Structure 1
Amino acid sequence: MMLRTAPMIFLLALVACGAEQRQPSVLLISIDMLRADHLSCYGYERNTTPTIDGLAAEGVRFARHISSAPWTLPAHAAMFSSLPDSVHGCVDGTDNALPDGIVTLAERFQTAGYGTGGFFAGPYLHPAFGLGQGFDEYRFCVPDLAASMDGQSVGEWAGDPAAHRRSHHGVTNPGVVDAASAWLQEHGQEPFFLFVHLWDAHFDFVPPKPFDARFGDPDYEGFVDGREFFFDQRINRTMAEKDLHQLVALYDGEIMWCDAHVKRLLELLDDLELADDTIVAVTSDHGTEFFDHGGKGHRRTLYGEAIEIPLVIRAPGQLPAGVVVDDLSRMVDLGPTLMELSGLPPSNRFVGISLAPLATGEGSAPRAALSELLADQNRMRSVISGSGKLVWNEVSGDVVWFDLDRDPEERNPQRDLSQGLGPELLRALQAEIRTIQLVSEQHQYPHQPIVLPPALDQAIRASGYGGGEK
């Protein structure tokens, strides 16, 4: 196990002297489409995330955290279920919702007596996909639509094409954090599990002032304004370097804008005197590509820019401060980690493991990290183990591997599976597939059809998400 610790050592022995402590609460923040390599605490040259950097200094940063999928819906389903995509089955956005038989992270906290709240702005977090299971309140927070929501069901207002369009092109962070803050002020005096999904880092990239000009060229006069990233054909692999630089600068501005809203939530915990009793985790669902391998967006490949995501956890009195874990960690490990830190019993239905022992230098890392892309006629799987990565495209039959120590950007695929890391990676893939088969046979979760409100289905397709990006 590889662990790096800041000079000041956290004294775990000082956890609970004297008065009985309340059960710890949990604040889980998911920042959509956040590449790990665009956070300053992960080595990025721009100071995009001062708040998250501070959180990492007070807690643990997982340097090799891997998502289960390169897009929003299956990644959050894995986050909530601690199961691989092939097991939870919520993988395409057009066929199956998360089965009722899967007990989600929110349901486990709810059963333990926690108040549970979830607040989001992205359409693929809609309860029609089964992700609202276990939340006392689960709200789609599209700004400036409060009046039109009055008297309507969630399905009606969340499926409104105008609401969807605003959530994609508009500024949504303030509405999400306002709603989450109000809920926290009402429910924060008892143990809570609060999920907050920040959507604005997802394209389009139109950060509010002053974040729009924080990283770009002040003299830029080109066509890139951050809008229509997916649909504007001028945004392509041959675009001028100055235009690409401006595009990435706007993305980084959105990241800093999200970081400012993480700060709002942390300051509220301080104001309510809840910070010492609250576990805070900041992560993402997936990354995105800016022509790193010739394309843009995500939901297309399993390269690192699409599946390498951040994970930072602060757990006062339980985890040491300023630690960096260089070992592998996975999306499916987050739920078991938060449960152990909260004192909830482990589940034998999870594929994920708790990372808490790893963070304190007492545990072992997962053997391998599996990612899957099972949408839009794709059937791709990747496995990372040690310093190697293997990618298997079931449709084309292509299998390649990379030595990430020598080729961290995955530029030189190797096809001879008998050489180098090939045999080891094949064994790792076979082991992950056996795990999927075993868990599926043991629990036999019945996959449930998604019943989307017609307007939501129309809105998703109109925005290019039906068989496209998300």
Structure 2
Amino acid sequence: MPAQRHGEQRRQPGRVQLRVRCRTERAALAGVREPALPASDRGGRIGAGRALQLLDVRERPSGARERRTRGARAPPRGALGRGFRGGGRRRDCRSLDACRRRCRSPAVGQPDARTEVNSLRALVSRLGCVAVLTALACGPSPSPEAGRAGNAVSPPIVLISIDTLRSDRLPAYGYEGVETPAIDRLAAGGVLFERAYSHVNVTLPSHASIFTGLLPSQHGVRDNAGYRLDEAVPTLAAELNRHGYATGGFVSSYVLRAGTGIGRGFEVYDDGVGFETGRQLGQIQRAGTETLAAAMDWVNEVADEPFFLFLHLYEPHAPYEPPPPFADRYGNPYDGEVAAADAVVGELIQRLEELGVYEDALVVLLSDHGEGLMDHGEMDHLILIYREVLQVPLIVKLPQGERAGERVAANAQLSDVAPAIYSVLGLKPPAETAGIDLLGLNEAQAGEPLRQIVSESVYPRIHFGWSELASIVEGDLHFIESPDPELFRLSEDPLERNNVIQEERAAARRFRAVLAEIDRTLASPVEDDPETRQRLESLGYLSGGARAAEGPLPDPKSRMGVVADLGRASRLIGSGDLEEAEAALQAVLQQEPQLVLAWQQLGDVLERRRRPKQALEAYRRAFEVSSGDATSAGLKVAELLLLEGRVAEAREHALAVVERAPMANDVLAQAALFEDDLAAAEEYLQLAIAGRGPQVAPLITKLAWLNRQDRFEESASLSDEVLAEFGARSDRGVLGHLYLYRGTALAAQGREPEAESAYREAIALRPELLGAYSSLAFLQALTGRGAEVGRTLQEMVTVNPNPGAYAEAVRALRAMNDPRSADGVLGEALRQWPEAEELRLLAGSR
């Protein structure tokens, strides 16, 4: 809906006159780094010819944060501004604007009959009192919703996932290099599965298998990025919630953010991991102690009713940086992080005991996958699927310590976890699951077929253009399908050094036949969406690429040297040695030009080195070789095209990825602002804000949108709120445009000293932000400091020695009625860049 215009404030005549000149000047603004608003802009602010600056280009797409109080209804998202996420860990409202209205918000309703019955059921479970059960049965009939669990028991359920934890690095599994008293206690009081396996070697798909009981090829989540769990797939949390459980999920990695769909079914889902741009996905994490603190706040609220707690710890995922005292206690940092994770588990157990719920609780401890640790040439876990990556710890502590100390030697899989929980509760699992009840596993009897556990690694196919891998564990045999297949006998060769495929040719043929029967096709979002496919075809991205490659694909294990080179480049980027990182990535791409990941990293490096045109080409190449599947690369192309003022192309690229990347709505909002379509900008901003998660880019775009309507007080107030939410994040370059827009809003209110400070902060954060210099120059002219105008514009062209900066200086000087100085600057620029089209156009307009 059209935005309501605020009334004009009384202004000094001189200010009105200068603002009119600024509006006239906007029609000519077309700087390379900060594209201009159209001439029809009626924002009327000093130096506002840059009101549509491209936002920080390293902000990554994110799903919406899902945080609800039990029993409360989520606030509506109809008005722009709703859907903002505050900086606190637990907020009662989901927008900054709504928080200002919190005192007028309706109170959360009183507990319903289901809550009361569930609380009583929990009490019955703890007391084991038949008399109370009889009284409950004879009492008033519960509501239909409360009765869904039937006569099933309802113990507290705690699922602990310790990311990247190898089973053979725990004392419970025979390792002597670390002490883990809490996990040892769980093993002693529970059932330990000696040979449990993950279905996949990356975090999000593995947790999707844990929650659904399905293989990745069945639930459809195949990678950490670009996939979302379909709402039609039943999940453990949703099923438990349907049967009366309070459900809370608390995660330590951005990979498991609610926007991936993994949080569905949780009434409270805390994914409040500190976000910073320019960091790799797997590095965005928080300490397990912080996650536990948030979890226990929630557990304290629901301890008197049946509850399901999912606690995810990211130790010992790389980078291995154990906190004290574990860093000093262990020479191996991976072991130190394992010990740190164990300490968090120990604190959780202690807190559950203090609440009196531990003894009755069903506690499951597992890991999503293991870690390579260079056993087969890979330090982490993204490529290969040998035993050290697939075999994981799995321990189940039953209520009242039933079956304590038991060890199960039969092969288990992570998709067995959900069926086991359903079994303990007496609930029927969803119709289709790949898993079976863990607690019923026994060794196969003579003559019985052995169980086959299927796993996969598609990361090398998606990100490197190499062959995917598949795996079957059957009894003592482990088969790995690849261009050079392998087969190992685990009992005699647990380190998998001796490939016996020639001796086991019949078994290998049988395993290949089994894998051939499983539809493991990598379903591209492009292939599933005809409209997106047509758009990508029109943009020229479906004519080739890694998916269209002909002939056999490289075997990943033969390319581990390339993985090492990419790791070196990543470390160089992390240390700030961008020149060496660029050289390393160029060398990799000489050997492997189809590497999507390398092209994306190169684009990032070139951006940081302030070479946007080359960065655009690198991202284009990544998007091309992925045949349009590299969503983040496509989003970067859209952002950089907008930076160049190529609005139509930017819009088409954003539309090509918007279904998979909600942050593309922010680019579409900026494109609408370019074309003076405030209504369309508002619609896209609503979507971008709803899906922004911890990213602030859409809020910064909203500042420009408010300024365009002369809503300067709102803009300044919102900038305060964004800064408060941003907090102490280190990636402050994101805020360059915020300070530019903030300066515009403050100057328009007559708060010139604050506006000047904002412009100077914008320049300090983003020296390439040309609009900040010209806006500061206008402010200096307005306040009678003409001598400072020249120094500011000189600084701009000195720091940014390119045609765009000189063109910006020329336009600013012309707008300030100083044509002589403008002509002098233009002449100097044309002597340096006589073919620069932007300068030639300015020369022709004199």
Scaled to the shorter chain, the TM-score interval is: 0.7 to 0.9
Alignment of 1:131 with 2:278, yes or no, is no
Alignment of 1:56 with 2:209, yes or no, is no
1:306 counterpart letter in structure 2: V
Give the whole-Å Cα distance in 2 for the aligned partners of 1:428 and 1:16.
49
Q: Which residue of 2 aligns with 1:26?
A: 157
Q: Which residue of 1 aligns with 2:172?
A: 41
Q: Which residue of 2 aligns with 1:251?
A: 334
Q: Which residue of 2 aligns with 1:155?
A: none
Q: Which residue of 1 aligns with 2:484?
A: 398
Q: Which residue of 1 aligns with 2:494?
A: 408
The structure 2 residue matched to 1:326, chosen from 383, 397, 409, is 409
Superposition pairs of residues 89-104 of structure 1, within 5 angstroms = 89-104=220-235
Q: Which residue of 2 aligns with 1:209?
A: 324
Superposition pairs of residues 161-310 of structure 1, within 5 angstroms = 161=277, 168=283, 172-216=287-331, 249-310=332-393
Give the whole-Å Cα distance in 2 for the aligned partners of 1:317 and 1:436.
42
Give the whole-Å Cα distance in 1 for the aligned partners of 2:371 and 2:209.
18
Alignment of 1:388 with 2:388, yes or no, is no
C-alpha deviation, 1:134, in angstroms: 0.6
Q: Which residue of 2 aligns with 1:76?
A: 207
Alignment of 1:339 with 2:422, yes or no, is yes
Larger Rg: 2
Give the whole-Å Cα distance in 1 for the aligned partners of 2:481 and 2:241.
38
C-alpha deviation, 1:316, in angstroms: 2.0
Distance verdict in 2 for CA 1:457–1:407, change over 3 Å: farther
1:86 counterpart letter in structure 2: S
Q: Aligned with 2:409: secondary structure?
A: strand
C-alpha deviation, 1:89, in angstroms: 1.5
Q: Which residue of 2 aligns with 1:110?
A: 241
Give the whole-Å Cα distance in 2 for the aligned partners of 1:401 and 1:430.
15
1:373 counterpart letter in structure 2: S
1:45 counterpart letter in structure 2: E
Q: Which residue of 2 aligns with 1:312?
A: 395
Distance verdict in 2 for CA 1:313–1:176, change over 3 Å: same
Superposition pairs of residues 434-445 of structure 1, within 5 angstroms = 434=517
Identity of aligned residues (%): 33
2:201 counterpart letter in structure 1: P
2:240 counterpart letter in structure 1: F
- 311-320 vs 295-304, greater mean Cα deviation: 311-320
Residue pair 2:155, 2:399 contacting (<8 A) in 1 also: no
Give the whole-Å Cα distance in 2 for the aligned partners of 1:44 and 1:317.
28
1:198 counterpart letter in structure 2: L
Give the whole-Å Cα distance in 1 for the aligned partners of 2:128 and 2:410.
30
Q: Aligned with 1:351: secondary structure?
A: coil
Structure in which a larger fraction of residues adopt helix: 2
1:388 counterpart letter in structure 2: L
Distance verdict in 2 for CA 1:126–1:67, change over 3 Å: same
Alignment of 1:451 with 2:534, yes or no, is no
- 81-90 vs 53-62, greater mean Cα deviation: 81-90
Residue pair 2:444, 2:450 contacting (<8 A) in 1 also: no
Distance verdict in 2 for CA 1:365–1:297, change over 3 Å: farther
Structure 2 stretches of 5 or more lacking a match? 1-126, 134-152, 462-466, 530-657, 665-691, 697-730, 732-846
2:252 counterpart letter in structure 1: A
Structure 1 stretches of 5 or more lacking a match? 1-14, 146-158, 217-248, 441-445, 464-470
Q: What whole-Å deviation, never above 9, does each CA across 1:338-367 have from its counterpart, x for those lacking one?
A: 1111222122211100111227999x9970
Distance verdict in 2 for CA 1:374–1:170, change over 3 Å: closer
2:324 counterpart letter in structure 1: K
- 30-39 vs 205-214, greater mean Cα deviation: 205-214
2:431 counterpart letter in structure 1: N
Residue pair 1:328, 1:366 contacting (<8 A) in 2 also: no
Distance verdict in 2 for CA 1:179–1:67, change over 3 Å: same
Q: Which residue of 1 aligns with 2:453?
A: 369
Q: What whole-Å deviation, never above 9, does each CA across 1:46-71 have from its counterpart, x for those lacking one?
A: 23311011111001000101001111
Residue pair 1:385, 1:428 contacting (<8 A) in 2 also: no
C-alpha deviation, 1:398, in angstroms: 2.5
Give the whole-Å Cα distance in 1 for the aligned partners of 2:284 and 2:515.
38
Tell me the TM-score normalised to structure 1 length: 0.75
Give the whole-Å Cα distance in 1 for the aligned partners of 2:307 and 2:443.
25
Give the whole-Å Cα distance in 1 for the aligned partners of 2:254 and 2:450.
32
Tell me the TM-score normalised to structure 2 length: 0.43
Give the whole-Å Cα distance in 2 for the aligned partners of 1:138 and 1:214.
34
Give the whole-Å Cα distance in 1 for the aligned partners of 2:449 and 2:154.
27
Q: Aligned with 2:312: secondary structure?
A: strand
Give the whole-Å Cα distance in 2 for the aligned partners of 1:334 and 1:165.
30
The answer to which structure, 1 or 2, has the higher relative contact order (CA under 8 A, 6+ apart) is: 1
C-alpha deviation, 1:326, in angstroms: 0.9
C-alpha deviation, 1:450, in angstroms: 3.5
Q: Aligned with 1:161: secondary structure?
A: coil
Give the whole-Å Cα distance in 1 for the aligned partners of 2:438 and 2:178.
27
Superposition pairs of residues 149-164 of structure 1, within 5 angstroms = 160-161=276-277
C-alpha deviation, 1:205, in angstroms: 1.3
Q: What whole-Å deviation, never above 9, does each CA across 1:383-416 have from its counterpart, x for those lacking one?
A: 00011111112xxx33221111222111112342
